[in-house]
Chains A and B, each alone.
Chain A
């Protein structure tokens, strides 16, 4: 089959199922589910077939799309770019989307809004796949925004819950702040380079032709979009709130794929972005700081989804640090492995939540969560991969990132990442121990009533994706060579000492977590709790939301208040004074209800008289 047709199937398949589920089968949920599975299945099959047939970059322009005078007389095109980077990420997105959809059959079984849910899931898959396969930045931006829309709709899926609605709005606004920067960057890029084609923008000739100041500005603006979408400091606070959405959505959008769109954009425009030293100098500290900050927050949360959410922020920061340090392979490789093991972890969390109706790890543990064997196995494997324990997937990819960052002249980012790795392994182990080794004697207060419920394994529709992802989280680590060949970028191997120290870091962290949470006599209290100020800082997520509310929130409120006042008092007030005077005089003159109308007619007559006068002159 030719590649155009495959790419069209991969993108429009979910679009068709979106339409079917949202419009045609609105009242027939089972048909809607069938349509979604068909569409997503077709997309996954096509994406895998494309990956199989991967060759040299295959640039396909399908139709002219937009005319702009900035693009050298050629219309901007709609088309696909099929090269290694796109094909790998596309296949990953399509497969995880299908698995999550299958999982959702069980997870959403009792929800009345199934048609809407599956329709929106398809909407997401369509936008995300179209984004990944896009041939130019304009097309990427269009679908980047649509991915954001799907995210908004899915976070707010249970929109009657005020918290969910508020979280959806927050996600939309915060990512849009980044997108505004990206939008300006896109326009400047179009203006300076006269094209938005990915391959052209990444060619050394185009990059060399850009003045350095212009290049830096564009790179920074594009990066602001990445910061918003991939939830990096200072635009990261929407992601934890996004956990208000259904858990499969958190797995698919808010850890594995959508939030990785920012990282993907960085990888896509890697040559362009790293050509700007200013960008590298900005991106590395942001990534390193975000990795640390979110790891500290993750280590004190009790809500399993919040731990995973902050963990996602932290891991995305790892990827960006790797990319900014020049490690294209490392960043992309970690993107792939992370997608598998983090989706797995979220789906495990979903299985517990689905069964126990609680997000609290202590509650889940004490209610007997570990007896859901398949789920617990998934949690342990996924956790191991996240913590960087060999030979699980996360170990290899994280090594690559450390190698890339280790090659820099400044040791600061590397130290930060080591520290973050330590915390990652610590909070992951803490999570696993809280679920699998409950200790009612530990004096840890239970926040909710314990649902005394015998453990029952999740239904097959949920279990099957768990098993597949568990296998993937083990196997993905061995794909490094294949990925390197596909994207034509070298693997970076750390020195033996780095590998050793990374393993030691992880082992130390797990040991600490075992001491505090795992062993029989464990108090289940973290070492941070001995430092109450620090503990509170982490628990309250560094007060960043509070700060934003007190600054930007207040600022917008004040400005809009001022604008309203100005409108009512000055703009409208003046008009009203004139208007009232006229109405009063009009009424007095005509003495009928329709007086005002007559004023109008009268004025028109006068106007005509003037007209006649001029004409006859």
Chain B
């Protein structure tokens, strides 16, 4: 089994599914869904296999596979994973599976929808396992590209506007990245796009300081960094359920992952020079996002801004540049991914029936649809940082790192927990508690099949929430290798 190119298989699996979906006639909707679900299940198993094969005490990049491609330009098909990549691969597979299951009732343009969605998934997998900057960027764009049609066609409320806005922001980010990454290529003089090779090159300090913000901001836009975050809540709101799940669950993580994998790894001096600035911005993300969420009336806007706040925790952890900070940041990418997927899956269930997302128009949902409500409430608890859920540990570590590096910012970020609790409880009180609104008395409770994706996500949050070392054993060795560069 060890000789099998698992990572290539991980990319091939959804690609084969994409091929099948394209071939299948558009009328065989069920078949398309089954293909998607089966390939998702297989990728989950493959991701588990990757986890199993990855030796936490081994070298940094494992399961490598190199096929030279455009040797003249120094581009090669180079795959490999480190601890964080293993974790994120698992997350992506899980969100792929649960997202597919959450869209089981889709009837409109099923074929195109799943084709785009699977493309997005391939792109995300590609980013996590690529060790060549060219392919990294290629997959990155592949993941971002389908967002436009997915939102513009299957979305709701102001969808074209949202899709356009998202595309423009991400384009701007890509442009910055593009310049930054090319600068890396030219400046090293190695004529290679290989991340491992570039990692051995010490870039000139002034070069690092000049280029780092470009790459950081380029990726940061996708991670929802303040003040370039406003595309993200709008995008969440307009996107259909599974797209929101993938978008907030894994796509935003690509940005943070890029900062970790490329910006900090290759430009440690630049990271140090800019850490103060970006740590302050990240703290603004946390506190400001929570305050804005407190004033939203739309379910998805609340969650959208909560994502802005929670991604701030990731960014703060990345800028702390200590073991605890980095471990916490990567863990938070995973935890937040599972949590927001749960959020959007739960809200999607309610929206699909009511076509209403106005919190004020609901009330007593917990009475009307207790199980479906329980899922949202559980996601909310995780969002508030209640222990027992994975995000608690991630936040704890980021805060431990922050209090050491930036005590004042750390305290602000921790105080943000009160505001997160306020906006989440506000949603509980308005929509789920209180007297039921008779308008929605006919709501159907979630079926066992429909509850499955959400139950999976809850289990993931709980398992990593009770035994955080499961993730930390993966992340820790990688980050300590990374920190040797500093």
Contact = CB atoms under 8 A, between A and B. Distances in A.
Contacts of A66: 393, 396-397, 468-469, 472
A465 B367 CA distance: 32
Contacts of B294: 556, 560, 563
B366 A70 contact: no
B32 interface: no
Interface residues of B, number: 73
A383 B5 CA distance: 75
A160 B327 CA distance: 41
A603 B148 CA distance: 14
Contacts of B388: 142, 146, 149
Contacts of A561: 295
B372 to A, nearest CB: 14
A611 B396 CA distance: 42
A183 B399 contact: yes
Nearest to B305: A567
Given A66-B472, A579-B165, A607-B178, A172 B291 contact: no
B165 A160 contact: no
A70 B428 contact: no
B428 A169 contact: yes
Contacts of A600: 145, 148, 167, 171
Nearest to A191: B404
Interface in A554-603: 556, 559-564, 567, 571-572, 575-576, 578-579, 582-583, 596-597, 600, 603
A41 interface: no
Interface in B151-202: 152, 160-161, 163-165, 167-169, 171, 174-175, 178, 182, 186
A172 B436 contact: no
A65 B414 contact: no
Contacts of B473: 67
Task: Kindly state the interface size class of chain A when it binds its partner.
Answer: 35 or more
A168 B148 CA distance: 42
Given A142-B387, A579-B164, A159 B433 contact: yes
Contact of A173 (B421, B432, B472): B421
Nearest to A562: B291
A600 to B, nearest CB: 6
A178 to B, nearest CB: 10
A610 B322 CA distance: 37
A561 B364 CA distance: 26
B168 A578 contact: yes
Contact of A583 (B164, B296, B387, B435): B164
B230 interface: yes
Contacts of B476: 67
A160 B404 contact: no
A173 B418 contact: yes
A531 interface: no
A146 B386 contact: yes
A168 B366 CA distance: 15
Contacts of B428: 165, 169
Interface in A540-563: 556, 559-563
Given A188-B403, A563-B295, A169 B367 contact: no
Interface string B401-420: 00110000011001101110
B425 interface: yes
Nearest to A69: B323
A396 B17 CA distance: 75
A561 B411 CA distance: 23
A596 B163 contact: yes
Contact of B168 (A176, A560, A572, A579): A579
Contacts of A165: 428-429, 433-434
Contact of A160 (B230, B393, B435, B468): B435
Given A188-B403, A191-B403, A183 B324 contact: no
A565 to B, nearest CB: 9
A150 B394 CA distance: 22
A141 B178 contact: no
Contacts of B434: 159-160, 162, 165
Contact of A560 (B141, B152, B291, B396): B291
B149 interface: yes
A165 B432 CA distance: 10
A70 B404 contact: yes
The listed residue with most A CB atoms (<10 A of its CB), out of B164, B417, B472, is: B164
Interface in A152-170: 156, 159-160, 162, 165-166, 168-169
B364 A177 contact: no
A603 B141 CA distance: 13
A350 B387 CA distance: 32
Given A142-B387, A172-B421, A160 B295 contact: no
B84 to A, nearest CB: 15
A596 B167 contact: yes
A184 B400 CA distance: 9
B422 interface: yes
Contacts of A582: 164, 168
A84 B175 CA distance: 65
Interface in B338-392: 364, 366-367, 381, 386-388, 392
A615 interface: yes
Contact of B425 (A146, A172, A604, A610): A172
B107 to A, nearest CB: 22
A615 B73 contact: yes
B219 interface: no
Contacts of B425: 169, 172-173
A306 B240 CA distance: 48
A145 interface: yes
Contacts of A274: none
Contacts of B419: 556
Given A146-B386, A160-B433, A162-B435, A70 B400 contact: yes
B476 to A, nearest CB: 6
Contacts of B169: 575
A611 B182 contact: yes
A571 to B, nearest CB: 5
Contacts of A187: 399-400, 403, 410
A174 to B, nearest CB: 10
Given A64-B469, A75-B469, A575-B231, A169 B429 contact: yes
B85 to A, nearest CB: 19
A446 interface: no
A190 interface: yes
Given A67-B476, A564-B292, A578-B168, A614 B386 contact: no
B227 interface: yes
B322 A69 contact: yes
B373 to A, nearest CB: 10
A180 interface: yes
B168 A559 contact: no
Interface string A61-89: 00011111110000100000000000000
B321 to A, nearest CB: 12
Nearest to B420: A176
27 contacts: A66-B396, A66-B472, A67-B327, A67-B476, A141-B387, A142-B388, A142-B392, A146-B388, A159-B434, A160-B366, A162-B435, A165-B434, A172-B421, A173-B418, A173-B422, A176-B417, A177-B418, A180-B414, A184-B411, A187-B399, A187-B400, A571-B229, A575-B230, A583-B164, A597-B149, A600-B145, A607-B175
Q: Which 3 A-B pairs have the closest CB atoms?
A: A165-B433, A563-B291, A564-B295
Given A67-B473, A560-B295, A579-B165, 18 more contacts: A66-B393, A66-B469, A146-B388, A159-B366, A159-B433, A160-B435, A162-B434, A184-B411, A556-B419, A556-B422, A561-B295, A564-B295, A571-B230, A583-B161, A596-B148, A596-B152, A603-B171, A607-B175
Interface of B: 73, 141, 145, 148-149, 152, 160-161, 163-165, 167-169, 171, 174-175, 178, 182, 186, 227, 229-231, 234, 288, 291-292, 294-296, 322-324, 327, 364, 366-367, 381, 386-388, 392-393, 396-397, 399-400, 403-404, 410-411, 414-415, 417-419, 421-422, 425, 428-429, 432-436, 467-469, 472-473, 476
